[in-house]
């Protein structure tokens, strides 16, 4: 279980809440994946920004998408699915060369824009998401350029609620280390495995990493409560190709059946008397998988009977949050489908493929709702779904987890250049709440 003993660097002091008054005109820049097609990434940026603006109404919060997007739905790579298939077939050194060539040109074009975004800011926040991962140098190159921009500005920098993979190449490590040349004040890591990976690859250089919860846990705060659907279970479809390309272990459930797993799970749940909605987080590959699954004969038959719906892919983080928050239960490989479900108190099952899934479930004391086995079949998962729905989400743990996420996000403001003293939140903001219903 993740608790609060490691929050020395990102501490929360309620008693000093009233002593800090944000100055008008102060500016914070959040560097992340706000406009990703996978709008689960956007949930992180929006929930963090919403929390900071509520805690410090006089501060301007702006976001920079480090993949170069400027709005939702913007595609940065034509035929992304084909490109990933080609990349995955190449040896590592060739993949890195292709990424450096393609991404390097884009980053050079973005550099002046990023410089303008950083101008006049008193604080930069990098995160969250699994952005400290070396997938053919992709994030390494992006974070390195963020570091170069911020080094010249000499503003305080905070890494907040990020995931870290233990897969850095020698070159990737060198690129990530450019952050150490900035005025890096604090490092917040979202789970124990990520913190261990950070320490193993960064060593003792820079601030000691502390555990900070994912801002997506504040989704109910940020987006409000949607209407609940009656006895509807949401199945989050993730493209098997993506799961295989990025996995650090076996992919739970699919067991070689690929997309058929999702169709067969839907059938099992409808046999048990539930309505089912197939949905995705919006990523291009997931959309394509969802479209193909919708054409499977027994899926089409269930749609005709009114037992199953195929949801339109969400275009914004708010759409995703309200969709997930309206289900009675969720089954998902995608981390932020699970995090948003937890934020709304919706029982959910996590299907393993990346250590970050298991780490999240451990952090909220719900490992009994996590499935790691590749050969776990649709029937087995459908049975577990009944159990998860019967047990629900523990309200006391839920209240504590969300309060920690809120407090740790607000604590970022203590690093604002020009802020006097520490920072807290307004009276009542950390009182244990009720699970949204």
pTM: 0.88
Structure tokens at 273: 């008397």
| Helix H or strand E encompassing 111 | helix 92-118
Q: Supply the CATH classification number for the domain 226-393.
A: 3.40.50.2000
**CATH 1.20.1050.10 fits domain 14-220+399-415:** no
- pLDDT at position 211, please? 96
Is 267:298 a contact under the CB 8 Å cutoff?
Answer: yes
- Locate the domains of the chain by residue range: 14-220+399-415, 226-393
Residue range 166-198, pLDDT digits in tens: 999 999 999 999 999 999 999 999 999 999 999
Residue range 356-412, pLDDT digits in tens: 899 999 999 999 999 998 888 999 999 999 999 999 999 999 999 999 999 999 999
- pLDDT at position 88, please? 67
| Helix H or strand E encompassing 29 | strand 26-32
In which residue ranges of the chain is pLDDT below 70? 1-24, 76-90, 92-93, 96, 245-249, 254-256, 418-437
- Cα–Cα distance measured from residue 302 to residue 276, given in angstroms and rounded to the nearest whole number: 9
Is 408:11 a contact under the CB 8 Å cutoff?
Answer: no
Same fold, 14-220+399-415 and 226-393: yes
């Amino acid at each position: 279980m993740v608790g609060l003993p490691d929050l020395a660097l990102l501490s929360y002091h309620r008693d000093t809440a009233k002593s800090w008054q944000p100055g008008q005109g102060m500016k914070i820049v959040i560097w992340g994946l706000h406009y990703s097609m996978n709008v689960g990434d956007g949930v992180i940026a929006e929930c963090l920004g919403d929390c900071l603006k509520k805690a410090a109404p006089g501060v301007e919060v702006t976001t920079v998408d480090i993949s170069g997007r400027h709005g939702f739905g913007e595609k940065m790579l034509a035929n992304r699915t084909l490109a990933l298939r080609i990349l995955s077939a190449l040896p590592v050194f060739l993949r890195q060369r292709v990424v450096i060539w393609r991404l390097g040109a884009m980053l050079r074009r973005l550099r002046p824009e990023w410089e303008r975004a950083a101008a006049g800011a008193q604080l930069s926040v990098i995160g969250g998401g699994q952005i400290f991962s070396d997938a053919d140098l992709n994030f390494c190159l992006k974070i390195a350029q963020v570091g170069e921009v911020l080094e010249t500005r000499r503003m305080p920098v905070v890494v907040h609620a990020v995931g870290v993979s233990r897969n850095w190449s020698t070159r990737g490590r060198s690129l990530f280390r450019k952050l150490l040349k900035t005025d890096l004040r604090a490092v917040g890591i979202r789970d124990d495995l990520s913190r261990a990976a950070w320490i193993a690859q960064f060593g003792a250089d820079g601030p000691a990493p502390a555990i900070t919860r994912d801002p997506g846990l504040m989704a109910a705060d940020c987006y409000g409560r949607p209407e609940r659907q009656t006895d509807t279970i949401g199945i989050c479809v993730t493209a098997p190709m993506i799961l295989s390309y990025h996995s650090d272990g076996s992919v739970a459930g699919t067991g070689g059946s690929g997309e058929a797993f999702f169709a067969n799970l839907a059938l099992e749940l409808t046999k048990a008397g539930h309505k089912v909605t197939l949905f995705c987080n919006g990523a291009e590959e997931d959309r394509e998988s969802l479209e193909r699954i919708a054409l499977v004969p027994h899926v089409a038959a269930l749609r005709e009977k009114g037992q199953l719906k195929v949801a339109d892919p969400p275009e914004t983080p708010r759409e995703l949050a309200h969709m997930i928050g309206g289900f009675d239960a969720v089954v998902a490989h995608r981390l932020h489908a699970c995090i948003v479900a937890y934020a709304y108190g919706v029982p959910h099952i996590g299907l393993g493929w990346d250590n970050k899934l298991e780490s999240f479930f451990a952090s909220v004391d719900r490992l009994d709702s996590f499935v790691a086995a590749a050969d776990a079949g649709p029937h087995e998962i459908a049975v577990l779904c009944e159990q998860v729905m019967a047990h629900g989400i523990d309200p006391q743990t839920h209240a504590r987890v969300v309060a920690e996420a809120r407090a740790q996000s607000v604590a970022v403001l203590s690093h604002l250049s020009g802020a006097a003293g520490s920072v807290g939140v307004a009276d009542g903001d950390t009182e244990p709440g009720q699970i949204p219903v």
